[in-house]
């Protein structure tokens, strides 16, 4: 049964690598964290999959009234709308006008949000009158790992107010000495050096950052210039937007429970041959085996050199491979150097 489920649920989501990354994509500012936002909104345009709760009908009636439209009793009984909770994470140094992703979750008895559109709604942190983001747009429910009652609006939230960063003791203590530490999200000597070099090039001449150095594979230390320390928040916001001449190793995330595979960048396969359990995979020419030789009668997947990971996943889907063999094959390809990626099993 599990193999059959895999065949219908295995998904590969790949985002093309750009060859460059933002500093903010690679690091976190030590002592500063994101703010969690919440809100409540109305999703419309559903094809009979909305909820029938009195609260939803009242929300639609009020919206219609705000537009100058009077609605008679019973006119809004069709379940084409749904109340939904809205959640998002607001980066510490988000600028006014920037966009963030918003998650939309039905809070009534709606069966699906597919095809719906969220009407303009505020998201706040703490108190509703302090709205930081306003969200609107079509709801995407294409993520196979989520139920149809949960969707996303990519970049659907617009920052309307720049929140004060949530400062911790370590950050403020370091700032008093003119020091800011950036922690690499994925430690790498190359990434740390690239971040330090990018900050030095962009901020060194202006005096905003007197020195940027890679302290370790997981940490970059910034020394702010004497004259600009009072503008530290604005400077750090600019630092996070700098482009880094560094392409991080893609991550391939395998969710064993949800039976999904997601790749963070474009991933191609080099020549190799690996075997696990009842399955053997060869890429390009027959390379030396490190995972055991294919045995007679085993399913064999043979692909050309340079094919994208998506094609391998599609072939494994076709033969209804087990999650255990899928993970073993991907790890084996990494070990022999045929798959340049980090495998993360959830």
Which has the closest alpha carbon to 321: 296, 298, 339, 337? 298
- Average pLDDT for runs of 10 along the chain of length 346: 38 43 88 88 92 85 79 70 94 86 94 94 85 94 78 93 73 86 90 92 81 94 82 83 83 70 77 81 61 52 83 82 80 84 75
Rounded Cα distance, 336 and 227, in Å: 52
Q: What is the C-alpha end-to-end distance of the chain, expressed in Å?
A: 21
Which residue bears the tokens 């911790």? 168
Rounded Cα distance, 333 and 337, in Å: 6
Give the distance, in angstroms, between the CA of residue 204 and the centroid of all CA atoms in the same chain: 31
Rounded Cα distance, 266 and 13, in Å: 10
Strand partners, 185: none
Question: Under DSSP, is residue 134 helix (H, G, I), strand (E, B) or coil?
Answer: strand
pLDDT value for 56 = 85
pLDDT value for 227 = 72
Rounded Cα distance, 194 and 246, in Å: 6
Rounded Cα distance, 238 and 222, in Å: 13
Residue 81, number of CB atoms within 10 A of its CB: 25
pLDDT value for 176 = 83
Rounded Cα distance, 5 and 335, in Å: 28
| 3-class DSSP string for 159-199 | ECCCCCCEECHHHHHHHHCCEEEEEECCCCHHHHHHHHHHH
* In contact, 23 and 200? CB cutoff 8 Å: no
* In contact, 43 and 81? CB cutoff 8 Å: yes
Domain residue extents for the chain: 2-15+250-345, 35-159, 168-244
pLDDT value for 104 = 96
**Kind plus residue range of the DSSP H or E element containing 285:** none
How many angstroms separate the Cα of 108 from the Cα of each of 2, 37, 41, 84? 31, 20, 12, 8
Residues listed for the chain: 346
């Amino acid at each position: 049964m599990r193999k059959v489920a895999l065949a219908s649920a295995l998904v590969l989501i790949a985002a093309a690598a750009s060859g460059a990354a933002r500093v903010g994509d690679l690091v976190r500012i030590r002592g500063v964290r994101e703010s969690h936002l919440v809100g409540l909104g109305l999703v419309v345009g559903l094809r009979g999959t909305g909820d029938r709760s009195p609260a939803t009908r009242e929300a639609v009636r009020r919206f219609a009234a705000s537009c100058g439209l009077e609605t008679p009793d019973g006119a809004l009984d069709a379940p084409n709308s749904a109340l939904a909770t809205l959640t998002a994470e607001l980066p510490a140094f988000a600028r006014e006008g920037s966009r963030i992703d918003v998650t939309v979750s039905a809070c009534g008895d709606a069966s699906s949000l597919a095809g719906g559109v969220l009407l303009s709604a505020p998201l706040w942190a703490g108190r509703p009158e302090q709205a930081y983001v306003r969200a609107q747009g079509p709801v995407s429910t294409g993520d196979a790992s989520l139920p149809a009652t949960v969707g996303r609006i990519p970049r659907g939230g617009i920052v309307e107010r720049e929140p004060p960063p949530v400062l911790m003791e370590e950050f403020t203590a370091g700032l008093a000495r003119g020091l800011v530490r950036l922690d690499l999200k994925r430690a790498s000597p190359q990434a740390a050096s690239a971040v330090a070099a990018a900050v030095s090039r962009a901020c060194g001449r202006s005096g905003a950052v007197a020195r940027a150095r890679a302290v370790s594979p997981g940490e970059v230390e910034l020394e702010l210039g004497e004259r600009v320390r009072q503008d530290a928040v604005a400077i750090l916001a600019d630092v996070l937007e700098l482009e880094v001449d560094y392409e991080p190793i893609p991550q391939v995330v395998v969710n064993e429970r949800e039976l999904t595979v997601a790749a963070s960048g474009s991933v191609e396969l080099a020549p190799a041959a690996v075997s696990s359990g009842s399955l053997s995979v060869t890429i390009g020419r027959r390379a030396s085996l490190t995972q055991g030789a294919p045995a007679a009668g085993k399913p064999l997947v043979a692909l050309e050199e340079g094919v994208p990971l998506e094609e391998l996943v599609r072939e494994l889907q076709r033969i209804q491979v087990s999650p255990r063999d899928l993970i073993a094959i991907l790890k084996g390809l990494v070990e022999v150097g045929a798959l340049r990626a980090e495998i993360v099993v959830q």
